[in-house]
Structure 1
Amino acid sequence: MWIEAGFSQVAQALLWPVLVLVGLAFVYALWLGGRTLMEGWQRRGGRYASLPSNDASLSLEELELAVVRQLEPVRLLSRLSPMLGLIATMIPLGPALQSVAAGQGQQALAVFSSAFAGVVLALAAASVGLTVYSVRRRWLLAELLDVRKARGVAA
């Protein structure tokens, strides 16, 4: 029984850090979305390039690594946010169910509301992250293809 109590205490201690991470993920997703919209607008005008295509000192492998480095934070956002949302939802469910069992429905409802707000923000962040990841990946792979063609390397 002491193991269960210990797990419960650790889980409760994780709630606030997880909620903070969900909030940060949501803000980061909004920033990335705005940045991607701005980049798309600049790309329409032909004034934007993410890769240093005219730098012949960089090998194709180094350029590919640059693509991965640019995409990795967005990929992590889209993959980790749902997990954080699930954690933010699951931690309060135990106490909420205990409140329901004790006949304190209003208290349980308040806990459920905050728990579901965390998962909604996390899923919104993941959705924006996945969209940004897909669009930026397409742009970066097209740039990489252009660099390969300019260097005379078969794609």
Structure 2
Amino acid sequence: MNNPIEVGMYGVSQWFLYPVLAAIAILFAYAFIALGGFLWQAWQRSGARRHGSLAGHELLQAHRASPELIQDELEAIAMKRLEFARIATRVAPMLGLVATMIPMGPALKSLADGQLADVSRSLMVAFSAVILALIAAAITYTVVHVRRRWYAVELLAIARGRDAAAQVEPDAAAHANGVRA
């Protein structure tokens, strides 16, 4: 690797290892924060179903607080709520790939030089980073898709003009009256 362009590209790529690892760590932590928020909202929604309240139903609450909101404004609220988790779902695997590839150069160089301890260290970083990134992506993917369904059901209920008790869940009125669906 005597070509200045190759040396330059290698050097620049190595600068990105620590920022990429930091971004993966942040996304990994965010995934568990998002999961906690999702589980809390699911718990609120299950309690709301039993008690006929709107707890955990963000769009229904927004519509009740501001009935003048149109469908597009409610969809914008839903998209804003999902935005960072959707970005994390897509970016985490890409950063995992980057964090896998950056240490591969030094690992291959160490292998050629017969320094197996350095190969092992580089590969450990590479594989650990991609594993954490994929776990973060899987968690945020699940959160996004379930919340997207929740928001779609709420938007349909608002569009149909159901009253608040029936908007919580299709069988909320039956639960409120003690009838099993």
TM-score of the two chains, using structure 1 as the length reference: 0.94
Unaligned runs of 5+ in 1: none
Deviations 1:3-53 (A, max 9, x none): 111111111000000000000000000000011011000000112221112
Q: Does 1:132 align with 2:143?
A: yes
Q: In the alignment, which residue of structure 2 is the partner of 1:97?
A: 108
Alpha-carbon distance between aligned partners in 1 of 2:45 and 2:67, rounded to the nearest angstrom? 23
Unaligned runs of 5+ in 2: 49-54, 163-181
Q: Does 1:42 align with 2:44?
A: yes
Alpha-carbon distance between aligned partners in 2 of 1:118 and 1:48, rounded to the nearest angstrom? 34
Q: Which runs of 4+ in 1 moved over 3 A?
A: none
Q: In the alignment, which residue of structure 2 is the partner of 1:147?
A: 158
Q: In the alignment, which residue of structure 2 is the partner of 1:53?
A: 63
Per mean C-alpha deviation after superposition, the further-off stretch among 10-19 and 65-74 is 65-74
When Rg is computed on C-alpha atoms for both structures, the one with the higher figure is: 2
Q: Which of 69, 84, 101 lines up with 2:80 in the alignment? A: 69
TM-score of the two chains, using structure 2 as the length reference: 0.81
Alpha-carbon distance between aligned partners in 2 of 1:50 and 1:8, rounded to the nearest angstrom? 48
CA RMSD for the aligned pairs?
1.0
What percent of counterpart residues are identical? 42
Higher relative contact order (CA 8 A, sep 6+): 1
Q: In the alignment, which residue of structure 1 is the partner of 2:132?
A: 121
Alpha-carbon distance between aligned partners in 2 of 1:77 and 1:123, rounded to the nearest angstrom? 10
1:101 to partner: Cα distance: 0.8
Say how many residue pairs are matched.
151
